[in-house]
Amino acid sequence: MPCTTVLVGRNASNDHSTMIARTDDGFYDVKKLVVVTPDKQPKKYKSVISHVEIPLPEDPLRYTSCPSVDLKNGIWAATGINAANVGMTATETITSNPRGLAADPLVRYEKAKKRGEKDKPGGIGEEDIVVLVLPYIKSAREGVLRLAELLETYGTYEMNGIAFNDENEVWWMETIGGHHWMAKRVPDDVVVMNPNQFGMDSFDLEDAFGKKKAHLCSKDLREFIDRNFLDLNQDGVFNPRWVFGSHSDSDHVYNTPRAWFMGRYLCPKSHTWDGPDAEFTPESDYLPWALKPDKKVAVEDVAYLLSGNYQGTPYSLYSSQDTGKRGIYRSIGIARTDVTSICQIRPYAPEEVKGVEWVCFGSTTFGAFLPVYANVQKMPDYLAKVTLDTSTENYYWNCRLISVLADAHYGSCIQNVERHQQAIAVGGRKLIREYDEKIAASHEEALIAEANEKLCAMAKEQCTKTLNTLVLNASKEMKNNYNRSDN
């Protein structure tokens, strides 16, 4: 699925937490946030799309998941944090080039063409990866190694980027063709911006084939590159983008502008982003994969990046000025986003509540990120009991309703949306602070569930207030209003 990823190293964040975040840009799929306990994890997994069957280990951990409510196309768990305080988001669809895909073709499901023949299963994909990996890992690095084994055994039918984090490390992994892969530990002092392209712009092959301190890859990656003449780099510099990535005209409309917007926000002083002397433009081919931000980054900054619609630039969808450039680039916050989460692992928090998942449903431009503790037996009904029918009784549909009303009446509604986002951010942080202290003092498991219930009650109250205001504002702007009073 087209998505946007942000990764934050522990020394780039304001509280030394690690963060991995991604917009899951689907097709208006209805989502929920649930907890999968070990007894609910399958012993054998079967993919709906690729029909591949995979036996699973006997000792899964409990984990959070954001599955589709309608399972006709599979689980699509999207993101989560497990009981070992390891986060995962999977996957961001990335790009490749014909050379790499021809050298290691994608493993796609093939239906039997003749009677008596058997269907040929495909590899694994976004539908499957969280369920196959997250319950079985106790560190971010283990996540890379677990997924690498699955890729080498079963292959994949699509190009994907996957992120993992624990309290110390963030790892980014990218698939290459059907079976190859490479992964890099995100430096502690940077923020990564990945918008649907093959992302990594540097990679230490010596480390990957030596100490493996911060780089991992397929065992035959060097030979694979040489044998298939994949390397386009000059002067001995190894930039994996020029080996495995794409460089198409459509990237300049769909992908690179998103990285430009994020970099512009993170580094307004250290780089030039606008004007005739700009170091980087929305259509630059050399936008960095990672940047050291000009200031420390908080959760709210990540939320802002992932709700981006080029606000403050000539390209903003909602600009009141007709710049001639409005809407020419694909925004980060789009209508068909299903769920966005920020998996935050906090090293300073009590062990039981190190993992906090900030979740937003629907368009991030208008949605609010609600924090909840991940280490629980079940999520509140407000997050977990979601049906395909529109309702004001759960967070998914409340987020969607707010987005639909605000988008259609942006000028009169955006102030109310911003107040709504602020209220949930403040209310969420206050409750997390309060319960961090309570849990540190008593270590009572019941307090974690109590905190999540209060967080959801706060969110529901705020959503109701905001919807009341937006419905009234939208009613006043209906086309069939008439100035003459009936009184």
Backbone angles phi, psi at 163, to 5 degrees: -120, 145
Catalytic residue check, 399: no
- Among 3, 267, 456, 463, which one carries the catalytic annotation? 3
Q: What is each CA distance from 332 to 38, 53, 89, 194, in whole angstroms?
A: 35, 35, 17, 11
**360 vs 2, residue with greater confidence:** 360
Choosing from 365, 397, 427, the residue where a domain stops is 365
pLDDT at 487: 60
CB 265 within 8 A of CB 310: no
C-alpha–C-alpha distance, residues 29 and 69, integer Å: 8
Q: Are 212 and 262 members of one domain?
A: yes
C-alpha–C-alpha distance, residues 339 and 403, integer Å: 13
pLDDT at 2: 78
User: What pLDDT digit, counting tens, does each position of 364-406 carry?
Assistant: 999 999 999 999 999 999 999 999 999 999 999 999 999 999 9
Q: Are 400 and 332 members of one domain?
A: no
Do the domain assignments include residue 370? Answer: no
C-alpha–C-alpha distance, residues 384 and 402, integer Å: 19
As beta bridge partners, residue 291 has 191
Q: Are 163 and 205 members of one domain?
A: yes
Do the domain assignments include residue 116? Answer: yes
Q: Are 256 and 353 members of one domain?
A: yes
Residues with Cβ within 8 Å of 106's Cβ and at least 6 positions away in sequence, in order, are 123, 155, 156, 157, 158, 159, 177, 178
pLDDT at 6: 98
pLDDT at 136: 98
DSSP-assigned letter for residue 187: P
pLDDT at 423: 98
Q: Are 320 and 285 members of one domain?
A: yes
Q: Are 344 and 452 members of one domain?
A: no
Strand 337-345, strand 355-361: pairing? antiparallel
Do the domain assignments include residue 383? Answer: no
Q: Are 97 and 137 members of one domain?
A: yes
User: What pLDDT digit, counting tens, does each position of 446-462 carry?
Assistant: 999 999 999 999 999 99
Q: Are 187 and 280 members of one domain?
A: yes
Tokens 């709700």 belong to which residue? Answer: 307
Do the domain assignments include residue 382? Answer: no
Do the domain assignments include residue 375? Answer: no
Provide the b/e sequence for 376-395 (b: ≥16 CB within 10 Å): beebbebbbebeeeeeeebb
User: What pLDDT digit, counting tens, does each position of 274-316 carry?
Assistant: 999 999 999 999 999 999 999 999 999 999 999 999 999 999 9
C-alpha–C-alpha distance, residues 221 and 390, integer Å: 49
Q: Which string of DSSP letters, residue by residue, matches 28-79?
A: S--B--EEE-GGGS-SEEE-TTT--EEE--S-PPPEEE--BSSGGG-----E
Q: Are 180 and 270 members of one domain?
A: yes
| Cis before 79? omega within 30 | no
Q: Are 251 and 392 members of one domain?
A: no
The pLDDT > 90 percentage for the chain reads: 93
pLDDT at 408: 94
Q: What is the CATH number of the domain that holds 20?
A: 3.60.60.10
Q: What is the average per-residue pLDDT within 404-425?
A: 96
Q: Quote the pTM value.
A: 0.96
C-alpha–C-alpha distance, residues 225 and 220, integer Å: 9
Q: At what angle do helices 395-408 and 410-442 cross, to 10 degrees?
A: 150
Do the domain assignments include residue 261? Answer: yes
Range of the domain at 423: 388-480
3-state secondary structure at position 348: coil
On the question of pLDDT at 193 being above 70, the answer is yes
pLDDT at 64: 98
Q: Are 193 and 292 members of one domain?
A: yes
pLDDT-based confidence at 337, cuts 50/70/90? Answer: very high
Domains of the chain: total? 2
On the question of pLDDT at 52 being above 70, the answer is yes
Do the domain assignments include residue 62? Answer: yes
pLDDT at 5: 98
On the question of pLDDT at 1 being above 70, the answer is no
Q: What is the average per-residue pLDDT within 460-473?
A: 97
CB 260 within 8 A of CB 273: yes
Q: Which string of DSSP letters, residue by residue, matches 452-477?
A: HHHHHHHHHHHHHHHHHHHHHHHHHT
On the question of pLDDT at 247 being above 90, the answer is no
pLDDT at 248: 87
C-alpha–C-alpha distance, residues 247 and 242, integer Å: 8
Query: Under the phi-then-psi rule, with left for phi > 0, alpha for psi from -120 to 50, and beta for the rest, what region is 443?
Result: left
DSSP 3-state helix, strand, coil percentages of the chain (rounded to 5)?
35, 20, 50
Q: Are 81 and 206 members of one domain?
A: yes
On the question of pLDDT at 324 being above 90, the answer is no
